[in-house]
Each structure stands twice: as structure tokens, then as C-alpha cells.
Amino acid sequence: MPGPRVAIVSDTVDDINGVAIGLRRLVAAATRAGHTASLVGPSGAITDEIVRIPAAMRAALPFYAQMTWSVPELPALVAYLARSADLVQVATPGPMGIAGLIAGRMLGLPVVAQYHTEVAEYAARMTGLPFVRGLVAPFVGWFYQQADRCLAPSQAVSDTLAALGVARIQRIPRGVDLALFDPVRRDRARLAALGVGDGPVALYVGRLSREKNLDALAAAWTRVRADHATASLVVVGDGPYASALTGPGVIALGPRHGEELAMIMASADVFAFPSETETFGNVVVEAAASGLPVVVAAAGAAHEHVVDGVTGDVVAGGDPAALAAAIARLLDEPARRARMGAAARAHALGYDLDRAVRATWAIYREVMDAHAGAHGATLVMPGLERAS
């Protein structure tokens, strides 16, 4: 029996962030496995992998000028879902996600929501106004309460959703490309060609934005560099806070993708990731899969993928001294670094992307069955009958 046709509606599909990259990888892996899945996003460049919905209006976020939100034309979204989807998954509580929720309900489709981003926390950190957290959180809670089921990629997210008053929560597995991110891609000659010296290399990969706790990493690196004159901090990513990571030994490479990113990861020595707002932390698992010991913050979800003292070190993300000490120790102790890197790769093998796809589609089928049992023959609005 064929699985449900799934449309994943997201406000972010083109940006260089964990949500967009993860969703594209999920759809690609699902398609390879024979499932029917589409990624539905706002208007933009025409590509084969993204369904574009025309915009009724567009506006830049006031505290993140590089990111724009697109309010979609609802009739166009409804028409696409009516002919192409059996289940709608909303990925973000922005205009596209809200429109996806409305369109799904209009069509009588089951709607699931996955919590990808700590929206309230991000808003507070990016604006520098803590009270914004309390203004945004109730809306986020309302949005996720409307779904038939909420998918949580980590225990931290499960706890957040419960605190927001969401009841229908289910943990969902996540995976990374274990063939792409592999220690065999280590190539220090290629890394040197990018301007990285022969000394030990710490690595950060991610969005360069205030909520990633980059001030703490910058302060920690100043301490590390004071005692490690040949060490480099390689920074991969882009964003409005790029100026936070500069100084002696810091090498900014900008965005990198695919095999080049995998080579950079495998060629570094330590992965440093101080973000305290992760809902999963794809790059942490990718770094581990590449054979790197990781230093991560104890807050957020990234630490859930680290066996403290075995595959990496979990420290207080807001404490530059603790971050610096953990990074420096790994740079100073090659044998410990190699041992932890091997353990990290072994641990990461549990995050197989194909296995995650199978488990995800099993959840979709459960939601479909529950929806059919609860609603029986579903009435839809005239003219919106779904194509079979």
C-alpha cells in the first residue's frame, strides 16, 4: 500500500540554516526511498526540489534584515495541497506555516507540526529584549496546539512543547548523511588551500547570528589563542553577526556545502558549538560523524547527542572560561582527541537518515489512520475536493 503524500510547508527553504537544510535532506531521502514528499515554500528562485507559492506580500524581519517572511496567496496553496497531499506538515509558525495549517483544515487533511526553532527565545536574544519572550511564547503555543500531532526531535523540545500547553507530542528520530560526513574525507592539504595553517584546528559551523551565543565563543577563543599561537578557529556560515567571530587565528570561510563542507569537518580537530537554543543540532551530529570530538553547551538540545567525556565535552555555554578550557584540553591531548573522535563516529552511526525516514513515515501513517477513524468521511468546502 503506498504511503501518504506529504507536503511539508515551511517559511524557510532557501536559507542556510538547520531547518531548511534538514528539510531538503529529508525530502530527498524520502524520495529515494519511494515516498511522495514535497517541500512547499514561499516564492523565490524556481528549483526542482521546492514547490513555490506566490506571495501576497513580503516583509523583512525588523531584527534580522537578511530574513524575509512571505505571506502566501492562500488560494494557490489550497489548490496545490488539494491535488497533491494527503497530509500536511507545518515546519514553522510563520506566515507559510499558518497558511499551511489553515489550508489543511479547509481541506480536511490531517496536519502535523514539527518544532524546529526556539522562536520565542530567538526573538528575545536577537532583539536584546527579554520581555519579548513572554509576548511570543503564547502565540507559538497556540500554533502547535492546533496540530493533530506535534513532532519533537529532542527531549528539550518535548519539554518546551509541554510547557507551552501542547498535549499531542511525539518524539521523532532525525538522521544525517553518514556517507557524506565521514572521517575518510580528512584532507589537511585541501584545508591548507583554504588558508588554514598546519596547527590544530577548532571549527564552528552554523548561522552567524546573536542567538548562537557567538560572543561566548569569541571570548573563549581569545583565551585559547593566547596559549596556542598556531591554532586556528575555522568559521563556516553566514549571518548578521559575522563580526562577532574575528581576530587572531580566526579564518572565516563563509557558507560551504556538500563534499567541501564534509572535507572541512573531517579535517578539523575539535568542533566547538556554544549555542544554547538548539532544538536538535544537526551540525553536532555531522561533526561527530566526521570523527570530531565536540564541545557543546549544556543548555538546549545539542548536548543530547554527546556522551559527556566520551564523545565530547558538555560545558556551560555562557562561560567563556569553561569553553576555552574544554577546547584547549582537546587541542593539547592528541591521544584523547583521537579516542573521543572515534567514539563520536561510532555514536553518530545511530543517526542513520534512511532509518529516520522509515520511522517518520510510520508516524505519518499512524496520524492518517487516527484522522480517518476520528473523522470518517470528511466534508470539504465546495470546489476544494482533493484529487485521489
Q: What is the pLDDT of residues 98-151, one digit of tens each?
A: 999 999 999 999 999 998 776 656 555 666 667 766 677 778 888 889 999 999
- Give the dihedral of Cα atoms 22, 350, 359, 119; nearest 10 deg: -40
Structure confidence at residue 62 (pLDDT): 58
Which is more confidently placed, 266 or 115? 266
- pLDDT range class, residue 311, cuts 50, 70, 90: very high
Specify the pairing of strand 169-171 against strand 37-42. unpaired
Q: Which CATH number fits domain 6-175+352-375: 3.40.50.1240, 3.40.50.1110, 3.40.50.720, 3.40.50.2000?
A: 3.40.50.2000
| pLDDT value for 85 | 96
Residue 42 is predicted with a pLDDT of: 83
Average pLDDT rounded to a whole number, residues 5-23 = 81
**Which numeric CATH code is attached to 183-348?**
3.40.50.2000
What average pLDDT score do residues 48-69 get? Answer: 70
In 3D space, the residue among 328, 337, 344, 332 whose CA is nearest the CA of residue 284 turns out to be: 344
In this prediction, residue 302 has a pLDDT band, given cuts at 50, 70 and 90, of very high
Q: Is the pLDDT of residue 182 over 50?
A: yes
Strands 149-152, 169-171: pairing is: parallel
pLDDT for position 46: 66
pLDDT for position 63:
53
Q: How far apart are CA 64 and CA 69, in angstroms?
A: 11
Categorize the per-residue pLDDT at 377 as very low, low, confident or very high, splitting at 50, 70 and 90: very low
CATH 3.40.50.2000, the chain: domain bounds: 6-175+352-375, 183-348
Judge whether 283 and 294 are in contact, CB under 8 Å.
no
Task: Please give the single-letter amino acid code of residue 234.
Answer: V
Compute the distance between CA of residue 308 and CA of residue 284 in angstroms, rounded to an integer. Answer: 13
Q: Binning pLDDT at 50, 70 and 90, where does residue 320 land?
A: very high
Alpha helices, H only, 2-151? 18-32, 74-84, 95-107, 119-127, 131-145
In percent, the amount of the chain with pLDDT more than 70 equals 87
* Least confident range of 94-103, 145-154, 260-269, 370-379: 370-379
- Mean model confidence pLDDT for the chain: 88
> 172 or 45: which carries more pLDDT confidence?
172
The number of helices, as runs of H, and strands, as runs of E, in the chain is 13, 15
pLDDT at 385 over 50: no
> Radius of gyration of the chain from Cα atoms?
21
Q: What is the per-residue pLDDT for 10?
A: 87
DSSP character string of 325-357: HHHHHHHH-HHHHHHHHHHHHHHHTT-BHHHHH
User: Is residue 84 predicted with pLDDT exceeding 80?
Assistant: yes
What is the percent of the chain with per-residue pLDDT over 90, rounded to a whole number? 63
Q: Is the pLDDT of residue 206 over 80?
A: yes
List Cα–Cα distances, 327 to 62, 295, 338, in angstroms. 35, 7, 14
Does 337 score more than 80 pLDDT?
A: yes
Look at residue 124 in the predicted model and tell me its pLDDT: 55
pLDDT score of 306:
97
pLDDT score at 25: 86
